[in-house]
Structure 1
Amino acid sequence: MDAEPVTFLGRPLGPSFRTRTVTIRPGGTRPYEEGEWRDALVVVECGAVVVEGHAGSRRAFGAGDVLWLTGMGVRALHNEGQESAVLVAVSRQRADGAE
């Protein structure tokens, strides 16, 4: 039996969580900023993303892949494909309401 891919697009997750959608256009690069991804489970909703590490390593992830980027030594996220890469980051809502 094939498992359904993980997706958070269009799914309400309740008041304890927040979601943020990040789109990287074809050929685009998004420099990694730790605070942007802190405490977030990240799902590649469509397209593909290449995660580049500080040491120059690169690893590709496609639709349905689930990532954890915090503390992983990430330098940048690249989209080397022909379609936009859409990532959804899900994190816990802080009790004080701060980002």
Structure 2
Amino acid sequence: MRANLGMTGNQVSSERSVAVLSPVLGKGAARDALNRASRAAHHSGRPLEEVLATSPGLQGIFTAEEWRDLCDPVHYTGVASALVDQALADRARPGSDLGQETA
């Protein structure tokens, strides 16, 4: 799976990047910057974090290591933990039939 994610040039993490950059740049500007960087990464074959680190307007916001961590899909699970928490809470609720086998 890691190899498959690597084939995307870590662009799968662009949503996370927009979320992290939005408080700094504003949501629209963050999305625009990520769109430009994603296109440049795709066309050049460079990893997204490398393009972001050298993009005008983004230089100096993070170190190269911070860009790498931000773009590493291992560090981004989206809302998975909230979904798991909700599923466990639903299952633990008295009278819940979640997780019960049906005949």
Q: Same fold (TM over 0.5)?
A: no
- Greater helix content: 2
Q: TM-score, normalised by structure 1?
A: 0.23
- Which has the greater radius of gyration? 2
- Greater strand content: 1
Does 1 or 2 have the higher relative contact order (CA < 8 Å, sep 6+)?
1
Q: TM-score, normalised by structure 2?
A: 0.23
